[in-house]
Amino acid sequence: MNLNHINYMEYLPDMEILQSDTLERVLSGVAAYDYNQYTAQDVERALQSTSLNINDFGALLSPVAQPYLEQMARKAQLETRKHFGTSICLFTPLYIANYCENHCVYCGFNCHNHIQRAKLTTEEIERELQAIAATGLQEILLLTGESRTASSVEYIGEAVKLAARYFRNVGIEIYPLNSEEYRYLNQCGADFVSVYQETYNPDKYEQVHLSGHKRVYPYRFYAQERALLGGMRGVAFGALLGLDDFRKDAFATGLHAYYTQKKYPQAEISFSCPRMRPYIHNADNNPNDVHETQLLQVMLAYRLFLPYAGITISTRERAGFRDHVVGMCATKISAGVNVGVGGHEEEQKGDEQFEISDPRTVDEVDTMLKERGLQPVYIDYVRV
Amino acid sequence: MSDQLILGGHAFDSRFILGSGKFSLELVRAVAKKGGTQMVTLALRRANEGGTANILEYIPDGVTLLPNTSGARTAEEALRIARLARAIGCGDFVKVEVIRDSKYLLPDNYETLKATELLVKEGFIVLPYMYPDLNVARSLVDAGAAAVMPLAAPIGSNKGLATKEFIQILVDEIDLPIIVDAGIGRPSQACEAMEMGVDAIMANTAIATAGDVGEMAAAFKLAIEAGRRAYLSGLGRVLEGQGEASSPLTGFLED
């Protein structure tokens, strides 16, 4: 099938369709979200609330909340302590393949970019896993580019089975699957699924996802629900902040997580907060720019709206930023990261998706956490 | 005078059970000591035998381990976690936590009861964490629980005795130790629960989020002891309304 110019709101033949109204609820919520209508009083009310509602969340994401960042941070730190104590989970990602069939205009892995493509063999995966396990980590996130052909579900399943031999907690960040395929990977040993919508604005989504399965917006949107129906314990949400209007995308991400958890109360939910970096010297030109201030505002709003949700801080951010947000709002941090294909034990086989800004080892991150009075947690999960 | 807490045939002088999940591990030992606690809970999901930051290595000697089944969503999962805990040497005590709600972390009483039945049959000393419901508590007694652990408020909320009336009913009606678990935010609330006749207090967040965790543990110890002594000595009556009438309504009777 020619996947160019397919209707981005229509499912392709093999894609499972759920009876769910979450998409409508999120889209209608975002459509009604006008962040310029909020006042300082709305922000103050949200900051005084002990149980924030959707309107409070909208206020905290609005421009008028920016001068309240310090108060938000203080409240967020208290909430984080109440729900997570001093615990900060450590993990590392392992890219096992970077083949991709999607044409996403913003992504280094996209199928029209001439990068070094690679896929690790079973033996190579095992050597990488051994090298990572030797650092003491117990949690791993397996990643692939989005290619069903090059990285089949069976291939990923074998990688998950291997990972489960060396790690107590295995997550996956791969292309969206049907619920039965998630069930298969769950049985192989994975229990957590990350899928990022990138942008929730359907028009923008269409513009930047030119071809490939990823172009189908609703199939991607319902990946978390299918994962939970497939037996996964937890799901992660995220928008690529800065791709479109970051305030609306952050609001949509929060609603997506909120409605999903409401529908599946047992689900463990978490957020990731990747951003597109603004061009230097262009700070005043684009209201969509996500500087550190805006990124922190989003993370704090997530924490205050859903205080029980996990928040992972990306390796794309600099050490000085990461060190300050752990314990304040973030609850999970990667360490010893290499975002090329392989590269922990083997020589790197394929190119990176993005540049990391924090190259510290597991020991270095462990030391940093302890110096900040936080407790590095290598495992907080038991498979039953 | 001996006033010991008896759980599954084991006697404890301390009525303060310390949760460990929200602490920096280096602090657990000192906090347990300052709080005079003889029992520390730990989540099996945090046990990392042979690995880094293994919580088991930070529990002081002489303290009884109370592993919990955190992470279990069904009775069967709780059973499997308890077996794992026993297999790595955590002993026979187990605190049942069966939770199917990631937002409030409220216990599922139905699955908790089923888990208690299963675990008692396997010889565990079972302390079920539950929402304070008298009927379920009675069933837990029948199932062979060693104590009942009702929540005071949502875990981590530090909101105190939000379920006070229902805990009082359990204290009055259930012939097992009642251990208030979750929600206690300050020593005065722990003291109040003990004055009500609760047998022991479990706390974690209230201490872990304090400015000086050791001092807060010591404060909890004193509050729990004060509440216990007040309960044992018999609280003075509290006059309701406008006080005692000087002209009683029943003063006309001539027998």
H helical segments located in A191-342 = 202-208, 217-221, 223-229, 246-263, 292-305, 319-325
* Domain coordinates in residue numbering, chain A: 79-377
Check whether A345 has a pLDDT greater than 80.
no
Q: Best residue in B102, B186, B209 to probe A by mutation, most A CBs within 10 Å?
A: B102
- The distance from CA B254 to its chain's CA centroid, rounded to whole angstroms, is 53
Predicted pLDDT at B188:
96
Domains: count for chain B: 1
CB atoms < 10 A from the CB of A333, how many?
A: 27
Joined together, the tokens standing for residue A19 give: 């009876």
Secondary-structure percent of chain B, ordered helix, strand, coil, rounded to 5: 40, 15, 45
Cut 0.95: pTM above it: no
In a domain, B252, yes or no: no
Mean pLDDT of A271-296: 80
Q: Which of B23, B81, B209 sits opposite A382 (nearest CB)?
A: B81
Distances (CA, A) of B75 to A123, B113, B119: 39, 8, 9
Q: Do B102 and A78 touch (CB under 8 A)?
A: no
% chain A with pLDDT above 70: 97
| B44–chain A Cβ distance below 8 A for any pair | yes
| Chain B: closest CA distance from residue A193 (Å) | 16
Taking the CA atoms of residue A37, residue A39, residue A43 and residue A44 in that order, the dihedral angle to the nearest 10 degrees is: -160
| Contacting residues for A67 by C-beta, under 8 A, at least 6 apart | A40
Rounded to whole angstroms, the Cα distance separating A207 from A350 reads: 28
- Count H helices and E strands in chain B, helices first: 8, 10
How high is the pLDDT of residue B224? 97
pLDDT score recorded for residue A349: 79
- Cα–Cα dist A87/A383, whole Å: 20
Query: What is the per-residue pLDDT for B244?
Result: 64
What average pLDDT does range A225-229 have in this prediction?
A: 98
Per the domain annotation, does B254 fall within a domain?
no
Asked if A77 is an interface residue toward chain B (Cβ–Cβ < 8 A), one would say no
Place of tokens 């002993």: B91
Smallest CA–CA distance, residue B52 to chain A, in Å, is 6
Alpha carbon separation from B177 to B7, B110, B128, B191, B197 (Å, rounded):
8, 20, 11, 16, 10
A375 and B53 within 8 Å at the Cβ level: the answer is yes
Chain B contact set for A306 (CB, 8 A): 103
Chain A residue with Cα closest to B47: A379
**Which is the CATH superfamily of the domain at A79-377?**
Aldolase class I (3.20.20.70)
Q: How far apart are CA B5 and CA A88, in angstroms?
A: 35
Query: What's the one-letter identity of residue B194?
Result: M
Strand extents, DSSP E, A139-221: 139-143, 169-173, 192-194, 209-211
Question: Does residue B140 lie in a domain region?
Answer: yes
Judging contacts by C-beta atoms under 8 Å, the chain A residues touching residue B45 are 379-382
pLDDT bucket at A3, cuts 50 / 70 / 90: low
Task: Report pLDDT for A288.
Answer: 78
Assembly ipTM: 0.81
Q: What is the pLDDT of residue B237?
A: 63
CATH number of residue B212's parent domain: 3.20.20.70
Question: Residue A283: pLDDT band by 50, 70, 90 thresholds?
Answer: low
Whether chain B has a CB inside 8 Å of the CB on A268: the answer is yes
Distance, CA of A32 to CA of A10 (rounded, Å):
24
Give me the residue from A83, A306, A379 closest to B156, CB to CB: A83
Query: In this model, does residue A173 exceed pLDDT 90?
Result: yes
Domain that holds residue B13: 5-233
Is position B216 within any domain?
Answer: yes
- Confidence grade of residue A285 (pLDDT, cut at 50, 70, 90): low
Of A136, A261, A382, the CB nearest to B51: A136
Distance from CA of A367 to the nearest CA of B (A): 12
Inform me whether the pLDDT recorded for A237 exceeds 70: yes
Say which range, A161-165, A222-226, A342-346, has the weakest mean pLDDT.
A342-346
Residue at B250 is within a domain: no
Tokens standing for B231?
């309960």
The mean pLDDT value for A260-271 works out to 96
pLDDT for residue A23 is more than 80: yes
Share of chain A above pLDDT 90, in %: 75
Show which residues of B are catalytic: 95
pLDDT for residue A4: 59
Q: For chain B, list residues with pLDDT below 70.
A: 1, 236-245
